């Protein structure tokens, strides 16, 4: 049993803006590997890798070492001044990607990296209409939020003009009440026809995660993506893959789009690129970059091309490859998914288990026949897991039910997976 820190959190709430609902009743003093610890040393197994960012585990030794050594060099520079870490990371990232994706910019967050891609897409196409998926999450800044179709939209006034949406291919709950468990891409065809009717003829781009996380862990299958790219090409839409959560090994390859026979026009990286530090990147083609430059492209922020954070990206690739973490994501992801499927057989409240690699979803329902989502039970299980020593992340959005987003570090061991599964099992038994 973990000690919760309700009074301490209540005291903190007097001074902090509550930016994510209520704060979790656990105050972390430190973190290491797959665990977070309070000031008394009580350990909680972290099945979320922080905010899905500590993909190599908390405080990986190579990252800690770099923090110590890089701090004595340049931390921050004028935006127009380059540094060896920025140049080296640009070379490294380009070498990891298909030849066409060769031009990089380094910023801080996923929101920013998507802003850069959207800004460039609008400039190079001359259009302003951006298509996103239902339930998607691409960031909290004005542009990225406009093409984010999750629960974060209501109450903040108008979004940027040209925000269009198509239904996500949610196999468990077909968005057009057509498919029975297996998507046949009808939702894509219908969705594109609907945005065509809404469009004023100024298309710029379509933005998508290879696996839609906040939407409920919805995987885009290879045949779906192939058709998606064809439909984009027909309309002159540039394709942006937001790989905030899916890159650097989490789905079993360095980049998730490598599972497809499709190369996007832009790829945006964040969360996993910095291994827990604020580093993000936008990568595009030489042709797009050259045209944007010709048209006077500008994107300057206080921390673009910061050398300190760029050095973390170099270490991230070192860790990924030296420890064979993409392969481990496939192996341990399959092991974890099998364990979750066994829990599904045991507990009626688990309606569906989905995802790939070490990015998995578990949907909690009231009834498997009707698939009625059970948000309250999901949150109760989540809270109980924390008490028992497991940190979980659940998505609560009307129409999507309660979906656990399970994303442990790629360095997790089978013993730690077994521990997490046993805690989740007990939490469900305690709550149903």
Rounded Cα–Cα distance for residues 275 and 59 (Å): 9
The ranges assigned to domains in the chain are 81-322, 326-353
338 is catalytic: no
Choose the catalytic residue: 103, 122, 219, 245: 245
242 is catalytic: yes
Q: Residues of 153-192 as b/e, b for ≥16 C-beta within 10 angstroms?
A: eeeeeeeeebbbbbbbbbbbbbbeeebeeebebebbeebb
- Directed axis angle between helix 325-346 and helix 414-431, to 10°? 30
Identify the three-state secondary structure at position 105: strand
Rounded Cα–Cα distance for residues 193 and 302 (Å): 41
Choose the catalytic residue: 38, 171, 242, 374: 242
Choose the catalytic residue: 103, 129, 137, 219: 137
- Are 388 and 421 in contact by the 8 Å Cβ rule? The answer is no
Tens digit of each residue's pLDDT (9 = 90 or more) over 64-102: 999 888 878 899 999 999 999 999 999 999 999 999 999
pLDDT of residue 386: 94
pLDDT of residue 5: 77
Q: Which two tokens stand for residue 374?
A: 């059970």
Rounded Cα–Cα distance for residues 171 and 88 (Å): 42
245 is catalytic: yes
Whole-prediction pTM: 0.95
Identify the three-state secondary structure at position 379: helix
> End-to-end CA distance of the chain, in Å?
19
271 is catalytic: yes
Q: Which two tokens stand for residue 174?
A: 């077909």
Tens digit of each residue's pLDDT (9 = 90 or more) over 196-248: 999 999 999 999 999 999 999 999 999 999 999 999 999 999 999 999 999 99
Query: How high is the mean pLDDT of the chain?
Result: 94
pLDDT band at 401 (very low <50, low <70, confident <90, very high): low
Q: Please return the burial class of 74, using the count of CB atoms within 10 Å of its CB with bins 0-12, 13-18 and 19+.
A: middle
- Are 24 and 394 in contact by the 8 Å Cβ rule? The answer is no
pLDDT of residue 2: 67
Where does 81-322 sit in CATH, by number? 3.40.640.10
């Amino acid at each position: 049993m973990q000690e919760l820190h309700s009074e301490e959190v209540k005291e903190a709430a007097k001074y902090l803006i509550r930016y994510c609902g209520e704060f979790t009743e656990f105050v972390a003093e430190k973190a290491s590997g797959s665990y977070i610890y309070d000031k008394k040393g009580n350990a909680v197994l972290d099945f979320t890798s922080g905010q899905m960012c500590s993909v190599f585990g908390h405080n990986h030794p190579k990252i800690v070492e770099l923090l110590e050594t890089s701090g004595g060099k340049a931390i921050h520079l004028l935006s127009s001044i380059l540094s060896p870490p920025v140049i080296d990371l640009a070379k490294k990232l380009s070498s990891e990607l298909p030849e066409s994706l060769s031009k990089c910019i380094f910023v801080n967050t996923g929101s920013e990296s998507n802003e850069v891609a959207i800004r460039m897409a609008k400039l190079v196409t001359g259009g302003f209409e951006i298509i996103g998926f239902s339930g998607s999450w691409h960031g909290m800044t004005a542009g990225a939020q406009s093409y984010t179709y999750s629960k974060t939209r209501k109450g903040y006034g108008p979004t940027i003009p040209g925000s269009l949406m198509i239904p996500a291919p949610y196999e468990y709950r077909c968005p057009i009440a057509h498919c029975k468990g297996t998507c046949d891409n009808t939702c894509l065809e219908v969705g594109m026809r609907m945005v065509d009717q809404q469009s004023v003829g100024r298309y710029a781009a379509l933005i998508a995660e290879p696996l839609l996380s906040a939407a409920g862990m919805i995987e885009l299958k290879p045949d779906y993506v192939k058709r998606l790219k064809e439909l984009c090409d027909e309309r002159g839409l540039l394709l942006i893959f937001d790989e905030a959560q899916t890159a650097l090994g989490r789905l079993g390859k360095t980049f998730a789009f490598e599972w497809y026979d499709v190369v996007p026009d832009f790829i945006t990286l964040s969360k996993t690129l910095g291994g827990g530090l604020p580093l993000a990147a936008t990568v595009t083609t030489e042709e797009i970059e050259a045209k944007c430059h010709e048209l006077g492209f500008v994107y300057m922020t206080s921390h673009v091309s910061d050398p300190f954070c760029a050095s973390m990206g170099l270490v991230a690739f070192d860790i990924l490859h030296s420890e064979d973490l993409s392969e481990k994501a496939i192996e341990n992801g399959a092991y974890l998914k099998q364990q979750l499927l066994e829990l599904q057989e045991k507990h009626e409240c688990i309606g569906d288990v989905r995802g790939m690699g070490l990015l998995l979803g578990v949907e909690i329902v009231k009834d498997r026949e009707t698939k009625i989502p059970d948000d309250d039970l999901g949150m109760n299980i989540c809270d109980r897991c924390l008490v028992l020593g497991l940190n979980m992340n659940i998505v609560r959005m009307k129409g999507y039910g309660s979906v656990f987003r399970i994303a442990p570090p790629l360095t997790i061991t089978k013993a730690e997976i077994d521990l997490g599964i046993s805690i989740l099992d007990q939490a469900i038994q305690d709550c149903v």
